[in-house]
Amino acid sequence: MIALRDLVIFAGLMALAAAVVASLFPAREGVSPVPACSDCALKLTGGYWIRQYGNYASLYLGTREAARYGWAYVDGRPLSVGESVGCDPMYLWVLNGIAYVSCNGNSPAFGREVGVLAPAAAVDISADSSGPGCTYTADVVSNVMNGTVVTLDVYNSYGELVYSASGAAPTSFTFSVPAAGTYRMHVYAPPLLDSWYTLYAGVQISGTKFVVYTGNNTQDLRPAVSLKVFDLTGFWERGYGSVVVYVDPGMRSFTLSAPTGAFADFLLAWEDCPNCDPTYGALYVDEVWRLTFTQSGPVLAHVFSQGGYWHKVYADGQLIWTWNMQGPKQTTYNGANPSIDVRFASQASAMDAEALFTKTCSWS
Partner 1 sequence: MWSTAYGLIALAVVAFVVLYAASHAPSFASVNLADQLYYAKSQLESSLPSLPRTDKPAYFRVYSNIVRIEVANATYGNHSFPVELPLGYRLAAREENLLYEIYLDVESCRPVSLQGGGAAVLYAVELRQSVDVLPWLAVYYADVNAAAYYGQLYSLYRAWGRPPAVGLDLGAPLSKAEWALVYNATSGSDVLYVAAPPSSPYIVVEDYPLAIPLACPR
Q: Which residues bind partner 1 (CB under 8 A)?
A: 5, 8-9, 11-13, 15-16, 18-19, 30-35, 37, 39-46, 93-96, 107-117, 120-124, 139-143
CA 323/CA 339 separation, integer angstroms: 25
Query: Which own/partner contact pairs does 57-60 have at CB distance under 8 Å and 24+ positions apart?
Result: 57/99, 59/34, 59/92, 59/99
Residue 86 Cβ vs partner 1, minimum distance, rounded to whole Å: 15
Residue 104 Cβ vs partner 1, minimum distance, rounded to whole Å: 16
Residue 209 Cβ vs partner 1, minimum distance, rounded to whole Å: 37
How far, CA to CA in Å, does 325 sit from each of 43, 213, 276, 283, 351? 103, 31, 19, 21, 17
Residue 119 Cβ vs partner 1, minimum distance, rounded to whole Å: 9
Q: Is 83 helix (H, G, I), strand (E, B) or coil?
A: coil
Q: What's the one-letter identity of residue 302? A: H
Residue 190 Cβ vs partner 1, minimum distance, rounded to whole Å: 16
In the complex with partner 1, the residue whose CB is nearer, 123 or 185, is: 123
Residue 115 Cβ vs partner 1, minimum distance, rounded to whole Å: 7
Q: Which sign does the torsion angle of CA 158, 160, 161, 162 carry?
A: negative
Biggest CA pair distance of the chain: 146
Compute the half-sphere exposure of residue 301: CA atoms within 13 Å on the CB side of its CA: 13
Taking residue 89's Cβ as centre, other Cβ atoms within 10 Å add up to 14
In the complex with partner 1, the residue whose CB is nearer, 147 or 281, is: 147
> Which uninterrupted H or E stretch holds 7?
helix 4-23
Of 105, 27, 15, nearest in space to 63 by CA: 27
User: Is the separation of the CB atoms in 198 and 182 below 8 Å?
Assistant: yes
Taking residue 82's Cβ as centre, other Cβ atoms within 10 Å add up to 9
In the complex with partner 1, the residue whose CB is nearer, 13 or 251, is: 13
Residue 145 Cβ vs partner 1, minimum distance, rounded to whole Å: 12
User: Is the separation of the CB atoms in 284 and 246 below 8 Å?
Assistant: no
Q: Is 10 helix (H, G, I), strand (E, B) or coil?
A: helix
Residue 20 Cβ vs partner 1, minimum distance, rounded to whole Å: 11
In the complex with partner 1, the residue whose CB is nearer, 77 or 329, is: 77
CA 364/CA 360 separation, integer angstroms: 13
Compute the half-sphere exposure of residue 288: CA atoms within 13 Å on the CB side of its CA: 20
In the complex with partner 1, the residue whose CB is nearer, 4 or 224, is: 4
In the complex with partner 1, the residue whose CB is nearer, 65 or 124, is: 124
In the complex with partner 1, the residue whose CB is nearer, 120 or 221, is: 120
In the complex with partner 1, the residue whose CB is nearer, 122 or 356, is: 122
